Structure 1
Amino acid sequence: MHNLGIAARPTPRLGQPVLFRRATVVTMNPHDGVLRDTDVLVRNSRIEAVGRHLEVPANAVVIEADGALLLPGFVDTHRHMWQSALRGVGADWTLGNYVQWIMIKWRHLFRPQDIYAANYMSMVEAVYDGVTTVLDYSHGLRTPEHAEAAVDALFDVPARARFAYGNALAPDLGWVVDGRVDDMLDNRFSSTDQLVTMQLALDGISPTDEAKAALDFARARELPIISHAGVFKAYEDAQIAFLHAYGALSPSYTLVHGGALSDESFRLIADSGAHLSISAESEDSAGQGYPPVSQARRFGVPISLSMDSVAWWSGDMFSAMRATLNAERAMVHHIAHQQGNVVVNNDTRAMDVLEYATLGGARALGLDDEIGSITPGKLADLVLLRNDTPVMTTVHNPAGHLVFQAGRGDVDTVMINGRVLKYQGRLVGVDLDRARSLVAQSVEYLRSRISNAEWEEALIPPPYVARQTWRSQSV
């Protein structure tokens, strides 16, 4: 046994069949559930078979899982990857602090090479952590050159990503129809059969001619849309009412946060089939609004999970699941106690949030026919956890274990599109050293443009001050 508890084998080469033997397979397929002592065979880019005692193909690499948890890769449906060089700067920030420092003061400092470095590191981090698909909510793209740099970085790591083209620096949504998005579609996204695909990230939506033109543009080109929504004192019910009235809400629309929306807005979202991306680590700390799991579940709005930005919080989907379930259960218990009652059984379960983090994200991106569950015929985006640490001994309740016990440090093997990118705890064909070097250069440049006094003020915000209202230029 090697140091990760999985029997050591040669690193699988690209194109080699891989057989995961005797794993505890958390399929996220409602027909199969959790399958213990089960094999999963991957050939080329797809899952060929799931079952016991599968025949080993010639030239296959066999990974003896010995009961280790095998699950579909996580899908993060909202991450501002361009901010990753500022990791952890905003640990004590509110949403107002974030708007003040990154979106107003610092975003103009980012050069195309800074966008590239941050996106490249963010992709490497996602692979390392078992996030096999990430939506890059790329709203720092003030020029076409910035957008090209962001896309270059996504393509330069062989992982699955959705490039959500945004430009929160623009005064309106006119940038959507000025030719730059069409150029990007024609030059980089003419094929849908690639690991990196594209959609739009639209913020500041209101009943303007520019917004209507942008929504018409997306509809004509069948581009999905993602928008921040239901953010306290920023994007509230009026935005949802307009999107509904204009016929823009649909299953290809994802709304992020949602905590400041009314029941009527949730009814409109549910009727449209649109999705909700909950970023509980962010919402719990920053003030967008309480994570609206209960509302979404009550109205039947499909949920996915996301990390927002590592400038504030972690990029760890295990933490996202934990934060989401903790917030939801805490509120349910709190309301019950206020009414003099106790909750006998929890309604939202560990398996629910595990689904949000995998298949729910795949559904939000329109990829659930291809990823999100361990099902024969689907693309092989898989994560195998180690099984020899104290926290991974022993596993009685796989879903509960993944939510409350495991962490990204337990990720042993990551496979994306049938290609092993992390094996026995080490990245394979993914250049972490290059990512670190690029980010170091970017940080050196950005810090040269930010005074020490300004930097220290950002790191240590003033003591709490209540304000009746605040209004952001963008979120």
Structure 2
Amino acid sequence: MTDTAAPTPDQVSSAPAVVLRHGLVLTMDDSRTILPDTDVLVVGEKIEAVGRDLPVPDGTVEIDARGGIVMPGMIDTHRHMWQTAMRGYGSDWTLTQYFVWNYLEHGRRFRPEDYYAGNLLSAIEAIDAGVTTSVDWSHGLATVEHAEAATDALEEVPGRFVLAYGNIHGAPWEWATSPDFRSFVERRMPRSDMLGFQMAFDVTGDSEFPEKAAFEVARDLGAPVTTHAGVWGATNDNGIRLMHEHGFMTPETVYVHAATLSDDSYQRIAATGGHASVSAESESSCGQGYPSSWALRRHGIDISLSVDTSVWWSGDGFSAMRSALNADRAREHHEAHASGDTVTHIAARSEDAVGWATRGGARALGLDHVVGSVEVGKKADLVLVKNDDSPVMFPVLHPYGHVVFQAQRGDVHTVMVNGRVLKHDGKLVGIDLGRARAAVEATVEHLRSELGEDEWQAGMNPDVPESKVLDNPYTYTDYADASTHAGAGQA
């Protein structure tokens, strides 16, 4: 028998089964089937049935999805979660200022407990916005203690996460080959579909290819590599070429941004089955290069989306979809106008953006058999977009367009991860937001005290040393990609 009254938070959190009734379901299956007035039954961790007027087991809690859109949970393939404790601090930064503040000056001031605080808040923020899987691109893990703290936070929040282990303060070929790193992986990384593992490091393009040792460790561990590729002034075509020539471009590799690459590099990524992570808000604002989905589509490269970091931008998948699609369309119009033509039918559609945010992320993380669509047998990572108090939630005439251009995090009514309800009726369920607030307040107090008030205020628009303009940001190597200097006549 179904409980017909509006369920309480305690009921939804403890229910043996949950059914979302009478929703408009964006399945995101291979045919992108849309199912109006449809129920989705969840039993345990999995989607048990999808259909109309479904019979349900005794004790099933019913959630009224009428007027709402049921869709797969969104998947973020690149989020520097630890930086969420500094939310909005770098709103006016360029990429160079970000490098100066985090890598050259203050990044080492973050203690393990500060990584815990940022990760905890970021994990909760993601769930609240309907992002059910997040890659923690944790590239400031100066010590294993930092990694332990970051992982503790991910395990505390019952979402789906991937720890992408990195250390921008040290050379990849050194930290990746250390016994401490190997011990950490063996102890803390179970490689379950709830907590995955990647190695996160960049390839500078140095012809000696010192990063080879880190790739060899990843291969030995069976760990995918995620790398910032095609970032102006930091990583470009030489890095891709070296990875390809040494056999380290695989279908599991994720290329973040991929915004300043040549056709040759895109062809290498496509030929090896790699995936891209597009952070269009980031790329548009701070200078990695023009958001790359337009170029990626031309080469048939699978696209996923990411928010990059809340130190700058919003941390929700709606903004990621909207900014990526807008940038893609702007580029398409620009290219047409440059040749005296006009676009009559847009190539990148809103359903593509929803696909990038769901199935695209699942494929990039090797989880397409687990999540990313509303299909029987998959894990129940689901989002109900519904807000009866909002004039923006009706009429729903174009469901994909509504998700991309009309909805926002405040319209996320219900979120399920692995069959567990973590948000219902617009409120988090079973998550201690107060604990996260206290941890973040302690981090901000620590950093503000360490820097002093003048430096804290100056850090929101930091000066850039002349020697670091058009220079590589990596403190562990003297190598610089001459292409950017040549572009400025400084070769």
Report the TM-score range of the alignment, normalised by the length of the smaller protein: over 0.9
Matches within 5 A, 1:63-102: 63-102=63-102
* Greater displacement, 250-259 / 385-394: 385-394
Indicate if the aligned counterparts of 1:172 and 1:204 stay in contact, CA closer than 8 A: no
Q: Partner of 2:339 in structure 1?
A: 339
* Greater displacement, 383-392 / 370-379: 383-392
Deviations for 1:290-339, whole angstroms, at most 9, x for unmatched residues? 01112111111100000111111110110111110111111111221222
Deviation at 1:402, TM superposition (A): 0.3
Deviations for 1:67-120, whole angstroms, at most 9, x for unmatched residues? 310110010000001111111111111100111112221111000001111111
Structure 2 distance, partners of 1:204, 1:267, is 18
Residues 1:378 and 2:373 are matched in the alignment: no
Deviations for 1:143-167, whole angstroms, at most 9, x for unmatched residues? 0101100001100111100000101
Taking a change above 3 Å as real, the CA distance of residues 32 and 267 of structure 1, as seen in their structure-2 partners, is: closer
Deviation at 1:460, TM superposition (A): 3.8
Deviation at 1:14, TM superposition (A): 3.4
Deviation at 1:453, TM superposition (A): 2.1
Matches within 5 A, 1:317-328: 317-328=317-328
Unaligned runs of 5+ in 2: 477-491
Taking a change above 3 Å as real, the CA distance of residues 287 and 374 of structure 1, as seen in their structure-2 partners, is: same
Deviation at 1:213, TM superposition (A): 1.7
Indicate if the aligned counterparts of 2:232 and 2:287 stay in contact, CA closer than 8 A: yes
Deviation at 1:169, TM superposition (A): 0.5
Structure 2 distance, partners of 1:396, 1:21, is 19
Deviation at 1:221, TM superposition (A): 1.7
Structure 2 distance, partners of 1:457, 1:7, is 54
Aligned to 1:395, the other structure's residue is in SS state coil
* Greater displacement, 292-301 / 136-145: 292-301
Structure 1 distance, partners of 2:229, 2:305, is 15
Structure 1 distance, partners of 2:71, 2:197, is 26
Deviation at 1:210, TM superposition (A): 4.4
Indicate if the aligned counterparts of 1:384 and 1:414 stay in contact, CA closer than 8 A: yes
Structure 2 distance, partners of 1:374, 1:146, is 36
Deviation at 1:344, TM superposition (A): 0.5
Q: Partner of 1:448 in structure 2?
A: 449
Match for 1:299: what amino acid?
Answer: H
Q: Partner of 1:3 in structure 2?
A: none
Indicate if the aligned counterparts of 1:81 and 1:137 stay in contact, CA closer than 8 A: yes
Unaligned runs of 5+ in 1: 1-5
Q: TM-score, normalised by structure 1?
A: 0.95
Deviation at 1:184, TM superposition (A): 1.9
Structure 2 distance, partners of 1:426, 1:216, is 45
Deviation at 1:135, TM superposition (A): 0.1
Indicate if the aligned counterparts of 1:387 and 1:393 stay in contact, CA closer than 8 A: no
Indicate if the aligned counterparts of 2:387 and 2:412 stay in contact, CA closer than 8 A: no
Indicate if the aligned counterparts of 1:369 and 1:378 stay in contact, CA closer than 8 A: yes
Match for 2:8: what amino acid?
Answer: P
Indicate if the aligned counterparts of 2:101 and 2:462 stay in contact, CA closer than 8 A: no
Q: Partner of 2:161 in structure 1?
A: 161
Q: Partner of 1:203 in structure 2?
A: 202
Structure 2 distance, partners of 1:408, 1:249, is 36
Q: Partner of 2:368 in structure 1?
A: 368
Residues 1:471 and 2:479 are matched in the alignment: no
Taking a change above 3 Å as real, the CA distance of residues 372 and 172 of structure 1, as seen in their structure-2 partners, is: closer
Structure 1 distance, partners of 2:469, 2:116, is 39
Q: Partner of 1:408 in structure 2?
A: 409
CA RMSD for the aligned pairs? 1.9
Q: Partner of 2:487 in structure 1?
A: none
Q: Partner of 1:193 in structure 2?
A: 192
Aligned length: 467
* Greater displacement, 281-290 / 450-459: 450-459
Q: Percent identity?
A: 47
1:8 to 2, 6, 9: 6
Q: Partner of 1:297 in structure 2?
A: 297
Structure 2 distance, partners of 1:411, 1:104, is 39
Deviation at 1:235, TM superposition (A): 0.2
Q: TM-score, normalised by structure 2?
A: 0.92
Match for 1:424: what amino acid?
Answer: D
Deviations for 1:270-296, whole angstroms, at most 9, x for unmatched residues? 000011000000000000000111211
Structure 2 distance, partners of 1:354, 1:235, is 28
Residues 1:38 and 2:38 are matched in the alignment: yes
Match for 2:452: what amino acid?
Answer: S
Structure 2 distance, partners of 1:29, 1:185, is 34
Taking a change above 3 Å as real, the CA distance of residues 310 and 7 of structure 1, as seen in their structure-2 partners, is: farther
Matches within 5 A, 1:75-474: 75-189=75-189, 191-193=190-192, 195-205=194-204, 206-208=206-208, 210-388=210-388, 389-460=390-461, 469-473=470-474
Deviation at 1:207, TM superposition (A): 4.9
